[in-house]
Structure 1
Amino acid sequence: MSGDTIELGLEDGGRKVVVRPGSEILLRLPENPTTGYRWSAPTDAGIELLSDGYAKEMGAPGAGTERIFRLRVNEMPPKDLNLIRKQEWEPESTPDASFVLRLSPD
């Protein structure tokens, strides 16, 4: 399984995903940067952020898009991958969404 790319989205939140060191995860999450609410880039130990970008806009200017994270698993799980969507510049900001994956070797 090493070297495989696993494509996931918001609908996969909460599920268990089998990975090995070297597995890559392509994670697509809905985001509208103009609202100020952005997904936090994963900073979990053992997970390397390879890229962080956006899909093309889905409609009119100011409309939502997808935030795309490409990640590599460098250490054996099990562990949880946690992301939150909030206004980063507001320290007291309450997240408006969260996303969790349970990474497991089997």
Structure 2
Amino acid sequence: MQEYQLSESDNGKKLQLKMDDHIVIKLPSSPGTGYNWEVQPNNHFMVSHQYTTQSDAGVGAGGMDVFELNPQTQVQNGSIRFIYRRAWEDASKAGKTFSISYQIQ
């Protein structure tokens, strides 16, 4: 089993995964502005999500959206995409996007 720790700087990265690998993606977020990271539908992974803040952060300070991905099926070529947007706005108005492509063996 290998664990991958990814951040915004890994946007566009290509991964060669095995079924027992684990991926942690940490993306900076500021939900006080109405923006949140959302994962686009994908049936290749079991995805969990949580939002964390620094313990010394002030009111309204940003934090991290943390996504954990565990492969669920083998696939030759896949991709997963995250968008940073306000829930009430159209997805085409996403502030930022993050994606990785992968092969799962």
Q: TM-score, normalised by structure 1?
A: 0.84
Q: Which runs of 5+ in 1 are unaligned?
A: none
CA pair 103-90 structure 1, distance change in 2 beyond 3 A: same
User: Equivalent pairs: percent with the same residue?
Assistant: 23
**1:80 and 2:79 are equivalent in the alignment:** yes
User: Aligned residue for 1:20?
Assistant: 18
Q: Which runs of 5+ in 2 are unaligned?
A: none
8 Å contact from structure 1 (residues 24, 72) kept in 2: yes
Q: How many residues align?
A: 103
Instruction: Give the deviation of 1:22 after TM superposition.
Output: 2.4
User: Aligned residue for 2:43?
Assistant: 45
CA pair 69-92 structure 1, distance change in 2 beyond 3 A: closer
8 Å contact from structure 1 (residues 44, 81) kept in 2: yes
Indicate the structure with greater strand content: 2
Mapped to 1, the partners of 2:33 and 2:65 lie a distance apart of 14
CA pair 21-42 structure 1, distance change in 2 beyond 3 A: farther
